[in-house]
Amino acid sequence: MTRLTGTTMAQDAPGRLLLVLLLALAAAAMPAGLRAGQGTGEPLQGTISVWAMGDEAMRLPELARRFEAEHPGTRIRVQAIPWTGAHQRLLTSVAGNVTPDVAQLGTTWVPEFAAMDSLLPLEQYLEGSDISLEDFFEGSAETAYFEGRIVSIPWYVDTRVFFYRTDLAEEAGWDHFPRTWEELEQFGADLTLDRTGDGRIDQYAFQLPTRGEQELFGFIRQAGADLLDSETMEVLADTPEMTEALAFYQSLFLNNYTPWQDIAALGPHQSMARGLFVSFISGPWFVGIFEREVPQLAGRWAVAPLPGHHRESSFLGGSNMAIFRGTRNPDLAWAFVEFLARPEVQLQWYREVGNLPASRAAWEDPSLGGDERWDVFRRQLEVAEPPPPVEFYKAIEDLLQNQQETLILSRRDPAEVTGNLAAGLERLVSLRRTEEGNLAPIVQTILWLLWPLGAALALVAFFKRRQIAGLGRYKTPFFFLLPILLHLGVFLVGPIFASLLLSFTNFDIYSLGSWESTSFIGIDNYRLLLSDPLVGRALINTFYFVGIGGPLTIGVALALALALNSAVLPQKGFFRTGIFLPVVTPLVAVAVVWRWIYAPRDGILNYLLGLVGLPEFGWLADPNLAMPSIIAMSVWKNAGFSMVIFLAGLQAIPRNVYEASDIDGASRWQTFLYITLPMLRPTLVFVIIITTIGYMQFFAEPFIMTDQGGPEHRTLSIVLLLYQEAFDFFNIGYASAIAYTLCVIIAAISIIQIRFARGEEYS
């Protein structure tokens, strides 16, 4: 593997004029030199910062205090990073070279950050240490490596097992959970029941995801199939075993042993408690959830290892601890990482937050060993495997999920899906960067060209000084706009210009490792996106959303504003506030409620429709209904926003105009058509343009409602796509190209809108 590594040195940025672009590149090029600081025998001292994720970080300070007590004079500053957005936060901090000393990294993130050359290799520290990678579960130890180097230390692990209802299984004569695929099939046939005899299944044997690569990964490995060899980068997916795994997974759906969509509103345990399905696959965190949230089920559920086929396997995940190259105190950083890996500390961590120790020795403790459930997890961990440790794993994840969806929702032939999967993997491998880039000399050339350009401008200004002096009468607008234009120029136009330039480069994670590897690639990104089927799909979806959702939102908002402006409506303050509430309600809360409304089986909407005898609809899970469902939700959420603007606009219409029309005996409709609407025109123009621009960039709704754009990409929007490219895969160049394509489209639409509006506005 010939990726450019190691040779990065502090680059002297050759100028400051293309400030932002240069910063993006130069910052990435300046990781602190590798430090060889192994055991000088001096006592540890100083301070390090540790980034940990989510609620786990809330408990980590307790361990840090214990460490500090062992090493007086040291200080561990733990920063909690929300899981949501943790990836962006880490990526930007690497880009800006403001990394912490130590960070918790999800096991599948390790290769990515190692590929950016941002992690400190740890072999030399491990040599003289009490801990060794052999202390950990085999699969867990594998996640410590990237390209043969040890770049992280396992912290905690998780794996996937089956959770199932023992009472329902026993009722059908099963005293154990299936151990093989054949048994699993039989279990499916025995436990999938139509109890009420109305032709509708009331009890499914399983609940398996249509987009869940971790569950699918288990089946793939059990069949003996694999994705790719992370050392040789050889794609191994195109095998009969892969087809076998996919066919088996598909058959569970085709036989209706599992529902075709996620039918639970708030997590599978509640539906399982009600007997809607007998089993599902999940991780260790669900043990606590079961105990806390469905106590009535105690003694009637259990966990079981995933059934084997040609071999046994499951997905292995978890988190590792890594030291960033930028650290100023590698000795202390290592001491802390080492401390966290000690069996007794791992055990303490398990007791406090319930995360499973990666260290095998910790499992010898009676608090873990005695429990039957943890025994299942332990057995599963012995055979569980991490996915291939490659820096583009996020893209593989996405590929797997997409193929999984076509396999199930489109009932595609498994052999064909195998082919697509292999082809997709080949493409991802081919995208890896291997040669020197040409961006650095080009940027330097541009910088040199800026001098004559500046000189030319100065010359023009000199010869046109008379005309410039004549501009004195525009003094007021000039000084009014000056601060604003300066501000927008720096904070808006600057970044826009930088990202526009980036759209002509192949800026990606490799650029963060060494920016010399970045190339100016002309319009290649734009050419690529023309042939990207996802871009086409996302464009269609976006137009669908804007075309239907835009007018609907504006119409509803206008109607509401008119009603609120009507003289006869009492309690206006109450109504105004009520209608505005959805606008302020955070989307996470909105999403929960609307998922409940749309849930296919227990959902409020289907319940109401059932009362009038209508069948069950899939709503968000149905490829054809997903977008209308999203639109309905968006109208509900956003109408209040435009309504406020309309209200303000309606207030600008003088009362006497209405009185005049009243006197003339105009009907309500005539008043609206001939007085309100024309007078409201500037407001209407504004709302239409803003709504179009905002809706063309819609993103949050599918992001949280439909698992990032499903089903089958029917709710994938352009901005969601570019967000995934930018922050999941860090293809900043390509993402920027998508953004500017979208920008041109919106601009075209807006210009048409403004043309139509012009007459009145400028008169």
Partner 1 sequence: MSLAPSPPVSTPARAAVRQRVREREPRFGWRTRERLFGVVLATVMLIVVSAMIGPFIWMFVTSLKTADQIIETPPTLIPRPATLQHFARLFDELAFLRIFLNSLIVTTSITAVSLFFNSLGGYTFAKFNFPYKNLLFMALILTMMVPMQVTMLPAFLLLKELGLLNTYLGLILPAMSSVFGIFLMRQFIYSIPDSLIESGRLDGCSELRIFWSIILPQCRPALAALGIFTFMAAWQDFLFPLIILHDESMYTLPVALATLSGQHATDWGLLMAGSLVVILPIATVFMFMQRRFVAGITLTGMK
Q: Which residues within the stretch 445-474 sit at the binding site for partner 1 (CB under 8 A)?
A: 471, 474
Q: For strands 277-282 and 204-207, give the pairing.
A: parallel
Q: Which stretch binds partner 1 (CB under 8 A): 35-43, 241-249, 375-383, 734-742?
A: 734-742
Q: By rule CB under 8 A, what string of x and - marks binding of each residue 37-56 to partner 1?
A: ----------------xxxx
Is residue 484 involved in binding partner 1 (CB under 8 A)? Answer: yes
Q: By rule CB under 8 A, what string of x and - marks binding of each residue 500-539 to partner 1?
A: --x-------------------------------------
320 — phi, psi (to 5°)? -115, 165
- Give the pair of three-digit tokens for residue 763: 């008169």
Query: Could you give the residue ranges of the DSSP H alpha helices within 262-413?
Result: 268-273, 285-293, 330-341, 343-353, 366-369, 372-383, 393-408
* From candidates 32, 289, 415, 666, binder to partner 1 by CB under 8 A: 289
Q: How far is the CB of 2 from partner 1 (least distance, A)?
A: 27
- Give the pair of three-digit tokens for residue 395: 């893209």
Is residue 275 involved in binding partner 1 (CB under 8 A)? Answer: no
Q: Which stretch binds partner 1 (CB under 8 A): 120-128, 536-544, 707-715, 728-736?
A: 728-736
CB 282 within 8 A of CB 261: no
Q: Which stretch binds partner 1 (CB under 8 A): 91-99, 120-128, 248-256, 397-405?
A: 91-99
* From candidates 662, 670, 677, 678, binder to partner 1 by CB under 8 A: 662
From residue 563, alpha-carbon distances to 65, 570, 698 in Å are: 61, 11, 28
Task: Please tell me the distance from the alpha carbon of residue 165 to that of residue 66, in angstroms, as a whole number.
Answer: 41
Pick the closer one to partner 1 by CB: 56 or 312. 56
CB 146 within 8 A of CB 122: no
Pick the closer one to partner 1 by CB: 2 or 656. 656
Q: How far is the CB of 311 from partner 1 (least distance, A)?
A: 27
Residue numbers 570-629 binding partner 1 by CB under 8 A: 570-586, 588-590, 592-594, 596, 602
Angle at 130 between CA 128 and CA 136, to 5 degrees: 120
Is residue 761 involved in binding partner 1 (CB under 8 A)? Answer: yes
Q: Which stretch binds partner 1 (CB under 8 A): 31-39, 182-190, 481-489, 669-677?
A: 481-489
Residue numbers 57-76 binding partner 1 by CB under 8 A: 57-58
Task: Please tell me the distance from the alpha carbon of residue 178 to that of residue 482, in angstroms, as a whole number.
Answer: 73
Size of the site for partner 1 (CB under 8 A): 140
Pick the closer one to partner 1 by CB: 455 or 492. 492
Task: Please tell me the distance from the alpha carbon of residue 5 to that of residue 513, in angstroms, as a whole number.
Answer: 7
Pick the closer one to partner 1 by CB: 248 or 497. 497
Task: Please tell me the distance from the alpha carbon of residue 601 to that of residue 261, in angstroms, as a whole number.
Answer: 10
Pick the closer one to partner 1 by CB: 200 or 572. 572
Q: How far is the CB of 680 from partner 1 (least distance, A)?
A: 10
Task: Please tell me the distance from the alpha carbon of residue 39 to that of residue 21, in angstroms, as a whole number.
Answer: 40
Q: To which H or E segment does residue 429 belong?
A: helix 414-430
* From candidates 9, 98, 449, 461, binder to partner 1 by CB under 8 A: 98
Identify which of 161, 381, 194, 192 has the alpha carbon closest to the alpha carbon of residue 290: 161
Identify which of 291, 40, 303, 283 has the alpha carbon closest to the alpha carbon of residue 166: 303
Pick the closer one to partner 1 by CB: 119 or 726. 726
CB 116 within 8 A of CB 94: yes
Beta bridge partners of 161: 282
Task: Please tell me the distance from the alpha carbon of residue 649 to that of residue 230, in angstroms, as a whole number.
Answer: 61
Pick the closer one to partner 1 by CB: 589 or 612. 589
Q: How far is the CB of 530 from partner 1 (least distance, A)?
A: 18
Q: By rule CB under 8 A, what string of x and - marks binding of each residue 678-707 to partner 1?
A: ----xx-xx--xx--x--xx-x--------
CB 554 within 8 A of CB 687: yes
Task: Please tell me the distance from the alpha carbon of residue 58 to that of residue 87, in angstroms, as a whole number.
Answer: 18
* From candidates 82, 369, 536, 555, binder to partner 1 by CB under 8 A: 82
Pick the closer one to partner 1 by CB: 264 or 627. 264
* From candidates 95, 126, 272, 358, binder to partner 1 by CB under 8 A: 95
* From candidates 44, 159, 722, 729, binder to partner 1 by CB under 8 A: 722
Which residues, 6+ apart, have CB-to-CB distance to 419 below 8 Å?
238
Q: At what angle do helices 626-651 and 572-584 cross, to 10 degrees?
A: 140
Q: Which stretch binds partner 1 (CB under 8 A): 140-148, 195-203, 635-643, 670-678?
A: 635-643
- Give the pair of three-digit tokens for residue 368: 């873990």
Q: How far is the CB of 699 from partner 1 (least distance, A)?
A: 8
Q: Which stretch binds partner 1 (CB under 8 A): 190-198, 205-213, 656-664, 701-709?
A: 656-664
- Give the pair of three-digit tokens for residue 24: 């993006």
* From candidates 64, 168, 396, 742, binder to partner 1 by CB under 8 A: 742
Q: Please report where in the chains the tokens 């030291």 appear, as a residue.
A: 323
> Is residue 85 helix, strand or coil?
coil
Q: How far is the CB of 743 from partner 1 (least distance, A)?
A: 4
Q: How far is the CB of 747 from partner 1 (least distance, A)?
A: 6
* 728 half-sphere exposure, CB direction, 13 A CA radius: 16
> Is residue 267 helix, strand or coil?
coil
Can you give the length of the chain in residues? Answer: 763
Q: Which stretch binds partner 1 (CB under 8 A): 160-168, 228-236, 449-457, 742-750?
A: 742-750
